Amino acid sequence: MTAWKIDQIPDLTGRTAIITGANSGLGLHTAQALGTAGAHVVLAVRDVDKGKAAAATVPGRPEVRRLDLSDLTSVREFAASWDGKLDLLVNNAGVMFAPEGRTKDGFETHFGTNHLGHFALTNLLLPHVTDRVVTVASSTHRFVRGINFDNPNLTGDYRAQRAYGQSKLANLLFVLELQRRLSETGSSVRALAAHPGWAATNLQTRSPNPAVRRLMEVGNGLFAQDAKAGALPTLYAATQDLPGASYLGPDGPFELRGGPTLVSRTTAASDPTAAKKLWTLSEELTGTTFPLAKTG
């Protein structure tokens, strides 16, 4: 896989892809690559004006639609407006190292946006999906021992790095349980995950802590690959023939940079019991459920 390049993406003419958070960084490079390959790309973004500016750089005839993953009403409105088939859903958007806060529905910002927003969006759009769902996770899931099921909002025990890591662990558990459910129903749709390694995007410099911001700036200069390279694992997961529940990341030392390859998860991210428990909790919190009936 190390020699794989963007120009090896197959012809995607006639296929439709939604990419959340596609107005900048990894999402924009993903949109540009899929558009170059002929896909009809929908940029699902919170700021429509920024989305339109980004869409001007995407080949083809991209669409821009408003989606605020921190607001379940917005998620429902976006999904309700969708008509027709959807080949690919890329759950890319996210927040990182944000100060303690709550989404419009009262969830901890990282957990509510990075996980619950995408959980609800996927369930609501799944009847339209024909090929696969790719969720962007992070190697920072390795620094979290498990989901705090008793206190997922981390009330009274908030640390930005812990909150972000928990949301990324949730992404991987979500993919694991989603694939189990898809397989159980006999669906051909696949759920996969990818992480960019250390990719220089605007996420790392948004921490409210000046020391963390400075550390990230130094790290970007020393270790990071650019966002275009960081998008490669997502693009590989989105376009290549891979088993469901595959996890892609860079093949370099410590998975910081390099070409896309299959990578491992922690034991916590591979726990089917925790994945089922998280799914049940997420259904309760979002009011959305897995929409596909069992076959046979």
Enumerate the active-site residues. 158
Could you give the dihedral angle defined by the CA atoms of residues 193, 244, 285 and 159, in that order, rounded to the nearest 10 degrees?
-30
Place of tokens 């076959």: 295
Q: Tell me how far apart the alpha carbons of residues 257 and 235 are, in angstroms, rounded to a whole number.
A: 15
Going by the DSSP 8-state scheme, the letter that residue 141 receives in this structure is: G
Question: Percent helix, strand and coil across the chain, each rounded to 5?
Answer: 45, 15, 40
Q: Which long-range contacts (CB under 8 A, 24 or more apart) does 213-220 make?
A: none
Q: Tell me, what amino acid is at 182?
A: L
Query: Strands, E, within 39-155: which ranges?
Result: 40-45, 63-66, 86-91, 129-136
Q: Tell me how far apart the alpha carbons of residues 97 and 209 are, in angstroms, rounded to a whole number.
A: 9
Residue 20 near residue 27, CB atoms below 8 Å = yes
What is the chain's alpha carbon radius of gyration, rounded to the nearest angstrom? Answer: 18
